[in-house]
Each structure stands twice: as structure tokens, then as C-alpha cells.
A and B are shown apart, each in its own frame.
Chain A
Amino acid sequence: MLSKKQARTFFLGGTVVTFLIFIGLTIYSFSKEQDQSNYENITEQVVRGKHLWEASNCMGCHTILGEGAYYAPELTKVIDRRGKGYIKAVLTTPNPWAPNGRKMVAYGFSDEEAEDLIAFFDWIDDIDLNGFDTVVSPIAKEKTNN
């Protein structure tokens, strides 16, 4: 029968080994050759867009890369689905609005801020998401099929 000492060894040993593998896999995932995010395409504008994304807590309603709050639409591939003009109009309008009955905060972003966010979405759209992009955007699916 298992002794307490053996049980402790199982706990400590298992933890150390799995954590080391986890760190190894993390390093591997972020090596340059394995990059699926087009890291080199992250411009200052994309970074400003990300900051705006966070400062406005967009994730508190929307999802991106499938992460967020499920209250408002997924914004991965949003440019595919809606086009830049539509997105800019949504971001810059100072008027409260409720697309299909669900209210969104009217952020009233400036033109420049809206462009920053669009650059951020644009960068997101080109990430290789292991197939998830085809699920959230019918257009991406068509592109894959052709």
C-alpha cells in the first residue's frame, strides 16, 4: 500500500516534471519559427489599438480570439464580416446605439483612435488560429475551401 512518503514524492515529482515540460513548451511556442501571430507586423498603431481595447474593456462584452464575455459579437475576423467603414462608424459615433436591440457604450472615438483599433483588428485577422478563424467567419471558411 502507498505510504505517505511515496504520496509526497508523487506530488512533488509530478509537479516539478510537468511544470518543467510546461515551461519548455512555452519557450518552444514563442520561438521565432513557431510564431503564428505575425509578430513582426505589430506596429505602434496596433499597440495603440490594443491599449484602447484594454482601456475600454471591450472584452467585458465582446470576445476576441474567442475570449471575452459573450454579450456582444466575436471580433476576430470582424473586418472580413463587416468591412472597415462599418467598424469606423460604430467606433466614432457619439450617439448611444443598440444594434438589434442590444445597447453598446457610445465611445465616440476620434478618427485616429478608430484607425488604431482597426489596425489592431487587422493584425488579429491574420493570426493563424488553428482553424478557429473558419468557425467565426464564413468568409475565412470560403477562402480555406478555395
Chain B
Amino acid sequence: MKYKSQKVAYWFFALSMLLLVLQLTYGFIMGFARIGLDGLHDFIPFNTARAVHTNLLVVWLLSGFMGAAYYIIPEEAQRELVNVKLAYVQLISLALVGVAAVIGYHFNWWEGRKFLEIPRQLDFLVVANVLLFLGLILATLFKGKRRTTTALVLSMGLLFAALLYIPGMLPFDSQVTDSFFRWWVVHLWVEGVWELIMGGILSFLLIKLTGVDREVIEKWLYVIVGLTFLSGVLGTGHHYYYIGVNKIWLIVGGIFSALEPLAFLAMALFAVNMYRKGEKRHPNKLALFWTLGAAIVSFLGAGLLGFAHTLPQTNLYTHGTLVTAMHGHLAFWGAYAMIVLAIISYSMPNMTGRKLYLSARGRAAFWLSNIGMIGMTVAFGVAGVAQVYLERKFKMEFMQVQNEISIHFVVLLLCASVLTFGIILYIVDFIKHGRPTDQALEIKQ
């Protein structure tokens, strides 16, 4: 850690960990409901659990991205954060909005639009919160001694993420139009600007961990984010195949979605190559595991599994089935969860001065959580493919099919337990690091 104000990142990461635990809890509620163990239905029906599960995912990742920005930007801009107190205000308000939304969902206070369930009143608070965050980050960046590509790409990702929230707030009478613009937010976030954020964090970590020249890493960062947008923007079309808009999206979405894995492949090759090229052997192997893991698993989950069901001919049958859940879980895990866990693993020893990265617990956390998530993906995949054949090809009744495939949810729950065990170990490590301290400023990273 080079600047005192970087410590604020710790509290964003702590909030992330807390929300992650809650997200897993609600995931279990849904998993058990799917095998008939739905005793909580009267208090937490499936639609509540689902809204909480997906929204907590978004909030813990955003909190992680914000923490990452508060850690990275001062170091890149070579100055303290412009206002630490306001950063804490922003943290508290983020936590309050998150808590209010989650509680509200239990009392039917929501918008009922997939992924964007946050009620309108809270939307405005989210906007205010994000504006405050961006103000602090951009002011620090522009008052700083240098403006690096890594910092610019990261800030650009955060800025566009905020701007793209707006189309989701527009009211429409037509379900088709509503759905169309909802994907402007959701798709262009996760397959667009969030990848800028991921790319920025990845680039920072690779510079620190491999010692490869910044110019080389940042050049490839441009190429990767360039590929991301080139394929991802028009790739939005794969959400428009079968929702009631023009057939042109079948062609445009089909072609550009097929290119989307290229960006992820480039990212994976980039990360692995930089690691192999690097002469510096940073002792924090755990951060390296998570960093390279994020690049590789995102290629599998977001790239390959995404490609597996975005061909229009396939998607005609897989659209609206558990196949989407298969892709969604590994994609979010690889691309975003793992990069947040990577920056936490890298920054915690620097902020606290406690170098716990050699512990077996940390490695077990990495492997167990990854094995668990891959197992869950397989379980979702088998259930999804079976659902497609039975329901869409053989025209069996929905619930008949659900009963046939419920065994895969037992497997899903077992794998989710392995993932959760891994995450618990990760959090134990997080807690054992203790609080950030100014004494860590003197320690060589």
C-alpha cells in the first residue's frame, strides 16, 4: 500500500464478503425449493429469493469494483484520494440502499423486472451514490500526477456502467420495448462495460504480479477491450431473437455473438502469456491464482458456454430454460466474482501488512470454490439440456419435466456446498488478515 486513503477499499471488500454470504444463502433457499424442500415459501417465496440472489450478486460485485477502484486509482494516479470522508459516506449509503432493497423484496417492494428489481425510489439513490463515487474517482484521477491507460479504462468502465443504468429506468407500456431496453443495461453491463472494469483490474494485477512492462500490458488491454466492444455491443442482438422484434437481430446477434468468445480468449491468452513472459516472481501466488483463474474461467463460462447457446438455431430451443442458468453462473463467477476475489487477495496483505498468502487455507479456498462452481455448472447444464429435450422437443408438461430433472438439483446443492466451503475458507482468510493499518505503508509490496 502506498497511500493511506487506499485503506477505504478494505471496507468495500468487507461489505462484498458479507453480501456474498447472503447471496449464497438465498441461492440455497432456491436450490432446496427446486427439490421440493420449500418450507420457507410463506416467508421467502421463490421470486423473493431469486430477486435477492441476483441483486446481491450485482451489489457485492459493484462494491468489489468500487473497492478495487479506491485501491487502484490512488496508486495509478500517484496521489491520495481527494476526499476519504466522502468515500465512507458513499460506502454507507451503498450499504443502506442494498439493505433497503433486500428487505423491500420481502414485502413485495420491487419492480419485477429481471435483474432490475430495485424499486424506482431507490434507483434515484443508486444514481446519487454512483455519481458520488465517480466524482471521487475521476477527481482523484485528474488531479493525479499521471493518467495511466489502466486507470482510464477502469474509470471509463465505471462511468459507462453508471450511464447505462439510465435506459433501465425508462418506463414503457410494451413488454417487448421494456425487455429490449432492459438488455441495454444488463447485457451492455456484463458483456460490455463491466469487461472494461475487469480488464482494468486485470491489467493492474498483471503489472504488479508479473513485472511485465506497463506499455506492453496496456497495449494489449486496448486490443482486448476493443474486441469486447466490437463483438459485445452488436452481440446484444442474441437477447432479441425471440422477444418480438425484427428478424434482423437473428443475423446481427448470431454473427457478433459468435465473435464474443474471441474477446475472452484474447483475455485468457493475454493473462497467461504475460505470466509466462514476466520475470518477476511475486510471492503472492494466491492473487496470481485468482487473476489467471479469472481470465481462464471467464473464457469457459462467458465465452464458450455463452457461444453454446447464442446461435439462433440453438437458442430457439434453449431460450428461457435452465441452459441460461448454466452459462450465467460460470460466466459471472469467472469474469467478475474471481476478479474481485483476485484484487482482494492481492490488496489485503498490502493493506494490513499480514502476508497470509502462503497458507494452505487460501489455496483450498481457490480450488474448492472453483470445483464447486464447475460442478454446479455441469448440474445446471444437464438439467437444462434435459429440460430442452423433454419440454421443447417431446412436449412434456413443465412440471412433469421439473420432477424428472430434480435429481440434478440434488447434485447442484452438493456442488454448491463445496463452493460455499471454499468461500467460507476465503472469508476466514479475509478476517485473519485483520484491519488495514498505516504501518503497512512502510512494508515493501
Spell out A's residues near B (CB within 8 Å).
Answer: 2-4, 7-8, 10-11, 14-15, 18-19, 21-22, 25-26, 28-30, 34, 36-37, 39, 42, 46-47, 50, 53-61, 63-74, 96, 99-103, 105, 120, 124, 127-132, 135-136, 138
Considering the chains assembled together, what is the distance between the CA atoms of A76 and B436 in angstroms? 53
Smallest beta-carbon distance A108→chain B, Å: 13
Given contacts A14-B230, A18-B229, A57-B110, 17 further A-B contacts (CB under 8 A): A4-B215, A4-B222, A10-B226, A15-B229, A21-B234, A30-B180, A36-B244, A47-B173, A59-B114, A66-B243, A69-B47, A71-B46, A72-B398, A100-B403, A101-B36, A105-B45, A132-B242
- Known interface pairs A14-B229, A28-B248, A37-B244. Does A59 touch B113 (Cβ–Cβ under 8 Å)? yes
Complex formed: what's the CA distance from A63 to B322 in Å?
Answer: 11
Chain B residues whose CB sits within 8 angstroms of the CB of A3 once the complex forms:
219
**Cα A30 to Cα B47 with chains together (Å):** 31
- The chain A residue with its CB closest to the CB of B30 is A71
* Shortest distance between the CB of A62 and any CB in chain B (Å): 9
Q: Say yes or no: B179 contacts A71, CB within 8 Å.
A: no
Inter-chain CA distance A8–B48, complex, in Å, is 44
Distance of B436 from chain A, by nearest CB (Å): 34
Q: Which residue from chain A places its CB closest to the CB of B45 in the assembled complex?
A: A105
CB distance from B158 to the nearest CB of A (A): 16
Residue numbers in B under 8 Å from A100 (CB-CB): 397, 399-400, 402-403
B51 interface residue (CB < 8 Å to A): yes
Q: For the complex formed, measure the closest distance between the CB of B194 and the CB atoms of chain A, giving whole angstroms.
A: 15
Interface residues on B, range: 35 or more
Q: How far is the CB of B417 from chain A (nearest CB, A)?
A: 21
Tell yes or no: B38 within 8 A of A by CB: yes
Closest partner residue, chain A, to B183 (CB atom): A67
Residue contact B219 to A67, C-beta cutoff 8 Å:
no
Cβ–Cβ < 8 Å partners of B397 in chain A: 100
Provide the residues of chain B in CB contact with A2, threshold 8 Å: 219, 223
Please state if A103 and B45 are interface contacts (CB–CB under 8 Å).
yes
Which residues of chain B are near A127, meaning CB under 8 Å? 176, 244
State A14–B402 Cα separation when bound (angstroms).
Answer: 44
Expressed in whole angstroms, the Cα–Cα distance for A51 and B247 within the complex equals 28
